[in-house]
């Protein structure tokens, strides 16, 4: 029993699920206690059979519910409140029966699942039905002094007051629960946004603002199979700043950082809007050019080389780049593609620098 309560009433469980479990458990306990009593008292089968059926339903219905689907729970609650409890109330002594105590708690739990007009209509229907049942039970089952009509009127008013209080209480609890849900959803949305922002930052090079190597490997794993399947061309550049170590040694790392930022600016002026610029490491950059053959890629690479060579920056530091190009071959993977581009870049370095090799 302790394990069951820990399972269904844990903090991780939703409010509605806890309420439905409490309702099912209460019905089960009530029926389990009532059936032996009915048998010992020699009660007719018209009372025992519905009680046994309700006990079975209190076990079966929770098994039918999946996830956040509370339709079966609401149907069962409606059956208990509208049919079973009035029936038991009438056949077990009217107001002398403890059924009324269970009804009030049951009404509270049932109301949690209802909203707006449906809630008002459902509770009004219960109020009318129980008013009639209380009056009939008072007339037929109780031997009290005084006028029967007056007694019935008093019981009806008392009952309506109980219903009204239950409605107010459940409305407040429902409102609190809704606000708690909204707050939780807001916090989750904020958390997802922060996680997305952190994930994005993890893919951005903080110095130059372009993508980093992590993004390259993630994106290539999608882009290369897509290009192979659609049989569209894909080219890769490896760009390396010539004599960058000498620039750092001569002018300092702050100037070197400025050169890297300038490089990104010049490259973006030359490439197309769909091309992807990645800082591969140090002074090396990789560019992915989807839907681009070797001829167009060579023209873009030459434009980059020319822009860099003709640049006049504030630091008055002249620098050039060596660029290696490779075009995706059928069945080739990312590592092989980048390795061929890198080999061509080193050929450009070894044959005089400031040139493009495809």
Report residue 357: phi and psi, to 5°. Answer: -125, 125
Instruction: Give the burial class of 269: count Cβ atoms within 10 A of its Cβ; 0-12 exposed, 13-18 middle, 19 or more buried.
Output: exposed
Q: Which distant-in-sequence residues (6+ apart) come within 8 Å of 148 by Cβ? A: 138, 139
Residue 283 annotated in active site: yes
206 DSSP assignment:
T
16, 182, 185, 283: the catalytic one is 283
Can you tell me whether residue 69 is helix, strand or coil?
A: coil
Buried b (16+ CB within 10 A) or exposed e, 103-125: beebbbbbbbbbeeeebeebbee
**Pairwise CA distance, residues 354 & 186, whole Å:** 54
Q: Which distant-in-sequence residues (6+ apart) come within 8 Å of 356 by Cβ? A: 298, 301, 302, 305, 323, 324, 325, 348
Structure tokens at 205: 């090079």
**Pairwise CA distance, residues 333 & 305, whole Å:** 27
Q: Which sequence positions are flagged as catalytic?
A: 283
């Amino acid at each position: 029993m302790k394990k069951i309560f820990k399972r269904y009433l844990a903090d991780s469980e939703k409010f509605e699920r806890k309420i439905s479990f409490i309702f099912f458990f209460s019905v089960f306990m009530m029926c389990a206690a009532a059936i032996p009593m009915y048998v010992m008292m020699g009660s007719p089968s018209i009372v025992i059979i519905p009680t046994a059926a309700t006990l079975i339903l209190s076990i079966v219905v929770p098994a039918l519910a999946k996830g956040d689907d509370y339709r079966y729970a609401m149907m069962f609650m409606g059956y208990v409140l509208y049919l079973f409890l009035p029936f038991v109330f009438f056949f077990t002594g009217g107001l002398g029966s403890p059924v009324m105590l269970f009804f009030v708690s049951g009404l509270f739990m049932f109301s949690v699942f209802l909203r707006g007009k449906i809630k008002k209509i459902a509770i009004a229907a219960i109020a009318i039905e129980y008013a009639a049942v209380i009056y009939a039970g008072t007339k037929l089952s109780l031997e009290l002094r005084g006028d029967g009509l007056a007694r019935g009127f008093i019981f009806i008013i008392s009952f309506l007051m109980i219903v009204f209080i239950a409605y107010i209480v459940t409305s407040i609890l429902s409102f609190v629960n809704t606000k708690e849900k909204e707050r939780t959803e807001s916090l989750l949305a904020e958390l997802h946004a922060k996680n997305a922002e952190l994930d994005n930052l993890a893919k951005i090079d903080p110095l130059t603002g372009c993508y980093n190597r992590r993004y390259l490997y993630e994106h290539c794993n999608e882009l290369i199979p897509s290009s192979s399947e659609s049989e569209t061309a894909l080219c890769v550049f490896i760009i390396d700043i010539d004599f960058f170590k000498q620039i750092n040694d001569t002018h300092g790392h702050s100037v070197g950082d400025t050169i890297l930022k300038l490089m990104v600016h010049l490259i973006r002026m030359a490439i197309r809007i769909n091309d992807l610029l990645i800082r591969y490491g140090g002074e090396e950059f990789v560019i992915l050019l989807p839907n681009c053959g070797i001829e167009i890629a060579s023209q873009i690479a030459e434009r980059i080389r020319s822009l860099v060579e003709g640049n006049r920056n504030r630091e008055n530091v002249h620098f050039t780049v060596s660029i290696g190009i490779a075009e995706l071959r059928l069945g080739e993977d990312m590592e092989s593609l980048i390795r061929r581009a890198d080999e061509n870049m080193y050929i450009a370095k070894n044959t005089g620098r400031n040139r493009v090799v495809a």
